[in-house]
Amino acid sequence: MSVRTLPLVFINLGGEMLYILDQRLQALNTSEDNSEKVMNDIVGTMFSKDFMDELIKPQQLYSHRTLKTVLTRLAHASIMRLNPASMDRLYELMVMAFKYQVFLCPRPKDLLLITYNHIDTIREYVKHTPVVVNQVDETHRKIIEVYSSLPEGEFQLLRQTLLIFFQDMHVRVSLFLKNQIQNPNGRFALSTSGPVPHGIDVPGLIRMFDRKGREVRRCEFPTGGSYSSPVREGCFELHGDRVIRLGMNMYTINHPEETHTSKAPSVKTDDTPNLLAKEELNLLARLMGSMKAENMPETGFWINLFTTDQEEEEEAASDGAEESLFGVINIQAMQDEQVATELARIAGQFAEGEETPGNLSSSKGDDLLAMMDDL
């Protein structure tokens, strides 16, 4: 069964990417003009009408490989570029942050509140550019229109789809380790305390009724946690108090270590040819066709996204035998041909084991790359 999972995935992962970029741009005292241009370009691309119209269609969730490729192109909508290794690590960090939020989501429907928290913060990033703000607002209205009427069962299916998608991701993030919400093996340690979902009674009370529906007796039982009632329900409108904090920016300029990830294996890569590979590539081509960057400069600027080499070496030395964290991830000025090369490699892997008729002058992968060359 296909559910509308993609819009929520892209908005939440894109929001986490912007949080990280904003943190590092501020920490390195990047000029306000460059910072604003980076945010405007990425947000404008992510919330473009054609892109969102394609995402909103009911369809199966992408593979990690394809999702990361689209997000890479999204990051490259600005004057910055990420090398492949950097994007791999950034992708893992974004996914782990969103996975944690899905885990802690009080109700399946509250996935919308997490998404709205991301949209609210993204809107703040581009508040000085009315055209981009209008794009964000239009997308927000469309999300409200599509998702607000879905039944609870559909939200449960959506949440379950996300959990299945994230189940093999166990990357250690120092922010989570520091706050003891992630174990050394990369798995989250979920709390048994806190507010219960809205509309749910605090556990610990058993009530017994007679045949006429009258309460005759009460007794309590230990719950093993400390629960409380929710203050109120979050606002599902265009503007308002979302109440829950999930989806808010968890990074600060004073804690650069919060953007570290571990070297532990994360996604189990499946090299088996995908039967739906060509269809997925065609959809990817359509999506990327809406990501045209006008007047893109050939060169940009680079920043250290995470810690410096010296800081990383000192941290590795202090950890001793413990597995060290990832090193420097640089945002570098590169040519768009790098993305085309990566897509060519993916297309080649998809085509392995498939017979190509002799009367065809090019494969579907070649068609995709040709379309990319026209961007």
pLDDT at 274: 47
- The residues spanned by each domain of the chain are 5-228
pLDDT confidence of residue 123: 95
pLDDT in tens, 85-102: 777 888 888 999 999 999
| Among 294, 369, 305, 302, CA closest to 339 | 369
Question: Which amino acid, residue 279?
Answer: E
In tens, the pLDDT along 333-368 reads: 344 455 556 555 655 555 554 444 444 333 433 443
Is 275 buried (19+), middle (13-18) or exposed (0-12) by CB count in 10 A? exposed
Query: In sequence order, which residues have a C-beta less than 8 Å from that of residue 158 and are 6 or more positions away?
Result: 3, 4, 5, 8, 108, 111
Least confident of 70-84, 108-122, 196-210: 70-84
Q: Which residue would you say has higher pLDDT here, 55 or 369? A: 55
Sign of the alpha-carbon dihedral angle for 361, 64, 271, 259: positive
Cα separation of 241 and 237, whole Å? 9
Alpha carbon 318 to its chain centroid, in Å, reads 31
Question: 367 vs 170, which has greater pLDDT?
Answer: 170
**Alpha carbon distance 274, 352 (integer Å):** 9
Q: DSSP class of residue 213?
A: S
Tokens describing residue 292:
């045209």
331 contacts: CB under 8 Å, gap ≥ 6: 21, 80, 81, 82, 86, 302, 303, 305
pTM above 0.75, yes or no: no
Residue 143 one-letter amino acid: I
Q: Is the pLDDT of residue 16 over 80?
A: yes
Mean pLDDT comparison of 20-24, 118-122, 227-231, highest-scoring range: 118-122
Q: What angle do CA 32, 38, 42 make, to 5 degrees?
A: 150
Instruction: Return the higher-pLDDT residue of 169 and 317.
Output: 169
- Going by C-beta distance under 8 Å and a sequence separation of 6 or more, which residues neighbour residue 89? 261, 326, 329
Could you tell me which residue, 67 or 254, shows the higher pLDDT?
67
Average pLDDT, integer, range 30-38? 83
pLDDT band of residue 296 (cuts 50, 70, 90) is very low
**How many other CB atoms are there within 10 angstroms of residue 177's CB atom?**
17
pLDDT of residue 364: 35
CA distance 285 to 369: 8
To the nearest whole number, what is the mean pLDDT of the chain?
Answer: 74
Q: Give the pLDDT score at 201.
A: 86
Helix axes 6-27, 130-147, angle to 10 degrees: 150
Q: Pick the residue with more confidence: 328 or 243?
A: 243
Residues 263, 328: Cα–Cα separation, whole Å: 13
Across residues 288-292, what is the average pLDDT? 48
Six-digit token string for 210? 């007679």
pLDDT: which is higher, 53 or 361: 53
Q: What is the Rg, in whole angstroms, of the alpha carbon atoms belonging to the chain?
A: 23
What is the CA 227 to chain-centroid distance, rounded? 29
Q: Of how many residues is the chain composed?
A: 375
Q: Distance (Å, rounded) from C-alpha 191 to C-alpha 226?
A: 10
